[in-house]
Amino acid sequence: MVTDPRTGKRRPHPMSLAIDEIVPVSQGGSPFEFANTRPTHWICNARRGDGTRKSAPTSLPLPQPWEL
Ligand SMILES: [Zn+2]
């Protein structure tokens, strides 16, 4: 967890692991179906929101223990 300098709120580390739904839950995708999920950075997921997935996922480094 880190403190967001803009809001002062605690949030996950920006590069920590998050699970992205390829088809967003808001568009009928399942967050529990493995084929509909992929690993992403927390910050990438937060920035993308429910936007469409036009670009292929970039390669991700393995999450470091101190980021989890
Ligand atoms: Zn990323």
Would 10 be classed as within a structural domain?
yes
**17 CA to middle of ligand 1, Å?**
9
**47 CA to middle of ligand 1, Å?**
10
pLDDT value of position 36 = 93
pLDDT value of position 48 = 77
Find how far residue 10's CA is from the centre of its chain: 17
Would 56 be classed as within a structural domain?
no
Q: What is the DSSP letter of 23?
A: S
**8 CA to middle of ligand 1, Å?**
22
Would 43 be classed as within a structural domain?
yes
pLDDT value of position 20 = 87
Would 37 be classed as within a structural domain?
yes
Domain that holds residue 22: 2-50
Would 29 be classed as within a structural domain?
yes
**28 CA to middle of ligand 1, Å?**
24
Would 9 be classed as within a structural domain?
yes
Mean pLDDT, 10 residues at a time, over the chain (68 residues)? Answer: 89 90 88 91 82 57 64
Would 46 be classed as within a structural domain?
yes
pLDDT value of position 4 = 83
pLDDT value of position 35 = 94
- pTM of the model as a whole: 0.55
